[in-house]
Structure 1
Amino acid sequence: NKRSCKTLLDIPWDKPAFQFWLSYYKNRWNKLKLLSQIDSFKVFYPKIVEIFREEGIPEDLALLSIVESQGNPSAVSKAGAAGLWQLMPSTARRLGLKVNWLIDERFDPIKSTKAAAKYLKELYSIFRRWDLAIAAYNAGPGRIQHRLKKLGDADFWDLTKLPDETLNYVPKFYAVLSFIKSSNLLKEERPEEKLVKVKVLSRTSLYRISKKLHVPYGIAKRFNLQFRRRIVPAGHYVYIPIKYVKKTDLVRYIKSARVYVYVPKRRERVSTIARRFGVDASTIKELNHLRRNVVYRGQTLLIVKREEKGRVTDGSS
Structure 2
Amino acid sequence: MIVRKISLAVSAFFSIAAFAQDVASSDVQIKPEVKISYLDSVKSCFKKDNMATRVDSLWMNELVSLDIYDDLTKDIQTINSDVSVDEELPTELLKQRLQAMNEKSPFEIEYNQGLENIIKSFLKNRKKSFSRLMSLSEYYFPIFEDAFAKQNVPLEIKYLAVVESALNPKAVSKMGATGLWQFMYGTGKQYALKIDSYIDERSDPLKATAACSQYMTKMFTIFGDWELVLASYNSGPGNVTKAIRRSGGKTKYWDIRNHLPKETQGYVPAFLATMYLFEYHKEHGINPERAVVKNFETDTVQVKSQMSFKQIADLLDMPQSQIQLLNPSYKLNVVPFYQSEAHYLRLPKDKIAAFVSNEDKIYAYVKHQSEFKGLPKQLALKVSPKSKARLEKSAEDIQFYKVRKGDNLGTIADKYDVSILDLKKWNNLKTNSLSLGKTLKIKSNDSIVKSPKELKAPLIDKKAAEEAIAASDNTKEKTTVPSQEYSVAAGDNLGSIAKKFGMTIADLKELNNLTSNNIGLGKTLMVAKTAVVEETTTATTAIASTSSIDSFKKKALSAKNLGEDYYVKKGDSLYSISKKYPGVTISDIKKWNGIKDDDLKPGMKLKING
TM category, shorter: 0.7 to 0.9
Shift of 1:201: 3.2
Check conservation: 2:99, 2:109, Cα contact below 8 A. no
Aligned to 1:209: 312
Q: Is residue 40 from structure 1 mapped to residue 146 from structure 2 by the alignment?
A: no
Shift of 1:121: 1.2
CA distance in 2, matches of 1:171, 1:2: 12
- C-alpha distance 55-106 of structure 1, shift in aligned 2 (>3 A): same
Q: Is residue 223 from structure 1 mapped to residue 326 from structure 2 by the alignment?
A: yes
CA distance in 1, matches of 2:193, 2:184: 11
Shift of 1:206: 2.6
- C-alpha distance 3-167 of structure 1, shift in aligned 2 (>3 A): closer
Q: Is residue 140 from structure 1 mapped to residue 140 from structure 2 by the alignment?
A: no
Aligned counterpart in structure 1 of residue 205 of structure 2, from 95, 109, 123: 109
Aligned to 1:165: 263
CA distance in 2, matches of 1:196, 1:211: 19
CA distance in 2, matches of 1:191, 1:124: 36
| One-letter amino acid matched to 1:95 | Y
Give the TM-score, by structure 2 length.
Answer: 0.39
Aligned counterpart in structure 2 of residue 238 of structure 1, from 332, 341, 345: 345
Aligned to 1:179: 277
- C-alpha distance 201-64 of structure 1, shift in aligned 2 (>3 A): same
| One-letter amino acid matched to 2:127 | K
Q: 172-181 or 229-238, which moves further after superposition?
A: 229-238
Identity, in percent, stands at 27
Q: 112-121 or 221-230, which moves further after superposition?
A: 221-230
Q: 164-173 or 36-45, which moves further after superposition?
A: 36-45
Aligned to 1:22: 119
| One-letter amino acid matched to 1:164 | K
- C-alpha distance 137-249 of structure 1, shift in aligned 2 (>3 A): closer
Shift of 1:81: 0.4
CA distance in 2, matches of 1:25, 1:204: 43
- C-alpha distance 92-153 of structure 1, shift in aligned 2 (>3 A): same
Aligned to 1:193: 294
Aligned to 1:298: 364
Shift of 1:300: 6.2
Check conservation: 1:103, 1:226, Cα contact below 8 A. yes
Aligned counterpart in structure 2 of residue 78 of structure 1, from 144, 152, 174: 174
Check conservation: 2:231, 2:264, Cα contact below 8 A. yes
Check conservation: 1:209, 1:300, Cα contact below 8 A. no
| One-letter amino acid matched to 1:193 | K
Aligned to 1:12: 109
Check conservation: 1:4, 1:182, Cα contact below 8 A. no
Aligned CA-pair RMSD: 2.9
Secondary structure class of the residue paired with 1:226 = coil
Larger RCO (CA under 8 A, 6+ residues apart) = 1
- C-alpha distance 297-136 of structure 1, shift in aligned 2 (>3 A): closer
Secondary structure class of the residue paired with 2:330 = coil
CA distance in 1, matches of 2:335, 2:276: 39
- In structure 2, the gaps of 5 or more residues are 1-96, 368-610
CA distance in 1, matches of 2:326, 2:196: 18
> 1:90-116 deviations in whole A, cap 9, x for unaligned?
000001101122211111111111111
> 1:58-111 deviations in whole A, cap 9, x for unaligned?
111011000001111111110000111111000000011011222111111111
Secondary structure class of the residue paired with 1:84 = coil
| One-letter amino acid matched to 2:197 | W
Check conservation: 1:42, 1:186, Cα contact below 8 A. no
Secondary structure class of the residue paired with 1:44 = helix
- C-alpha distance 297-98 of structure 1, shift in aligned 2 (>3 A): closer
Check conservation: 2:98, 2:111, Cα contact below 8 A. no
Aligned to 1:57: 153
CA distance in 1, matches of 2:138, 2:109: 26
Note the 1:256-275 alignment, pairs <5 A.
Answer: none
For this pair of structures, how many residues does the alignment match? 257
- The structure that has the greater radius of gyration is 2
Secondary structure class of the residue paired with 1:132 = helix
CA distance in 1, matches of 2:362, 2:209: 38
| One-letter amino acid matched to 1:155 | K
- C-alpha distance 31-297 of structure 1, shift in aligned 2 (>3 A): closer
Aligned counterpart in structure 1 of residue 253 of structure 2, from 156, 179, 182: 156
- C-alpha distance 153-217 of structure 1, shift in aligned 2 (>3 A): same
> 1:261-317 deviations in whole A, cap 9, x for unaligned?
6xxxxxxxxxxxxxxxxxxxxxx6xx22x9xxx85963469xxxxxxxxxxxxxxxx
> 1:104-144 deviations in whole A, cap 9, x for unaligned?
11111111111111111111111110000000000011110
